[in-house]
Structure 1
């Protein structure tokens, strides 16, 4: 009897490669990815793309047989004092993009705070906002993926779990980022995996060193990616794994690698998958 190989769907942040969607697609397809995570195109964030440019992007992706794994929105990557309505409006723009580009997933964050203000001080305000966003998502049949970005409320496993259990919505799930956990002093697999696995629905692929927080290709840092990949395989995970290398620089809304460094990151991850007996599609 032939045993079916575990297969994950490989994707990646196109704007880490180039502002040009055609170059984004070419590099991703060379790495074996037939999906893309869309954060920006032509140097314009996805929630700010005009209807015309959004339709143009959809036509390009369809013409190149490229699916969309997620909309990488900036929602929640703002100070907690930002009005709820502002982020709900931006979510509507992200939902519009998701519908046009054919994905149910939208990445979000759980809000920054000013220096000197503790995470506990903003907890209630965070939950109000996350509930409002999740309610909108559920009403429009999309799923929000919370990324554990450094310095937002949900940057530690315990606070990510707090968001998931408090909001308690099928429209809110976890986008796992090992490098971000390393950068806040967490050992991702040892200290977070079992806690968050029930909510883990999407894998963002980058690694980091614990001693200096430098982002590294998958497997070269302290993000315990080998252990995580093996555990996900054993758990039956068959979702998206999205490359987000951040190997050239990072900034408030994301990062950049360029085609060559992105290729290094993609090949490193593919080697880890091969070691674990996980295929890609």
Structure 2
């Protein structure tokens, strides 16, 4: 009997192509039926109208692709900014997620805190507002560890999850590497809260690399996922520059992307997906097609 995890693949397909048609093509070519929707035809998902979302849903449904998560930028704002403005933006994203049929919304825990505990009450208060708004929707809010936000380090993430039991985690190993954290230690701390994972790898110097070539310990931590249900992994290569990349990270904390290794975005995306499939096979885990 196989007691290793079985994974369902998902992807930030905007790293393959800015256009939704190109994203659908890339996903179908790889047999991936889930998308973490972030960029659509050069626009951030949070900037879509409800009419846009209905159109996107129709196109994805026709292609047999489901929105697993809305890869939103919620919480990637400074803690000093007006909380009502971000709450209203979240309410719009929540409406989009309902239309898109998403199971999750990815969000963050705010810049401008420097990880200082004095900001903890303010961060919790804002995240609580999001959770209250989403209550009863069936949509799971997932906090991503990210460089420069309050939840940059594993201990701070754990603190947030303990304070907010309904907040789940999306585990990003590369972001922990870039924050100077040991990935396996972070996993042991946060695994009770993890809802799904991002697949991105990095070296300790900050360079983003092909999955398995960095210090993200992917081959060691993938077998640690739960075995009682298929777990979702979202491919997020960051191996080539793509539309919207500059807006994903705080100024001064940008990932180093090697733009010379691949001829184009699609080639970088293809490499990341193929490499992940091989990693999953090599560590004895399975894929649910």
Q: Is residue 202–residue 209 contact of structure 2 (8 Å, CA) maintained in 1?
A: yes
Q: Which residue of 237, 244, 247 maps to 2:239?
A: 247
Structure 2 distance, partners of 1:156, 1:118, is: 8
Q: Which residue of 180, 193, 213 maps to 1:185?
A: 180
Task: Give the unaligned 5+ runs of structure 2.
Answer: 250-254, 258-263
Map of 2:99 onto structure 1: 100
Deviation at 1:140, TM superposition (A): 2.7
Q: Specify the SS of the correspondent of 1:251.
A: helix
Q: Is residue 10–residue 35 contact of structure 2 (8 Å, CA) maintained in 1?
A: yes
Task: Give the unaligned 5+ runs of structure 1.
Answer: none
CA separation of 1:109 and 1:118: change in aligned 2, threshold 3 A = closer
Q: Is residue 32–residue 280 contact of structure 1 (8 Å, CA) maintained in 2?
A: no
Q: Is residue 25–residue 36 contact of structure 1 (8 Å, CA) maintained in 2?
A: no
Q: Specify the SS of the correspondent of 1:252.
A: helix
CA separation of 1:209 and 1:237: change in aligned 2, threshold 3 A = farther
Map of 1:273 onto structure 2: 280
How many residue pairs get aligned? The number is 273
Q: Is residue 78–residue 111 contact of structure 2 (8 Å, CA) maintained in 1?
A: yes
Structure 1, residues 51-108: CA drift from partner, whole Å, max 9, x if none?
2221211111011011111000100000001222112211111111211111120000
Structure 1, residues 150-184: CA drift from partner, whole Å, max 9, x if none?
01000111000000001222xx1000000000001
Structure 1, residues 103-130: CA drift from partner, whole Å, max 9, x if none?
120000000007xx55223222111111
Question: Residue 230 in 1 paired to residue 237 in 2?
Answer: no
Q: Is residue 13–residue 36 contact of structure 2 (8 Å, CA) maintained in 1?
A: yes
Map of 2:138 onto structure 1: 141
Moved more, 63-72 or 82-91: 82-91
Q: Is residue 46–residue 72 contact of structure 2 (8 Å, CA) maintained in 1?
A: yes
Alignment of 1:146-185 (within 5 A): 146-169=143-166, 172-185=167-180
Q: Is residue 115–residue 151 contact of structure 2 (8 Å, CA) maintained in 1?
A: no
Q: Specify the SS of the correspondent of 1:220.
A: coil
Map of 1:38 onto structure 2: 37
Q: Specify the SS of the correspondent of 2:110.
A: coil
CA separation of 1:35 and 1:167: change in aligned 2, threshold 3 A = same
Aligned alpha-carbon RMSD (Å): 2.0
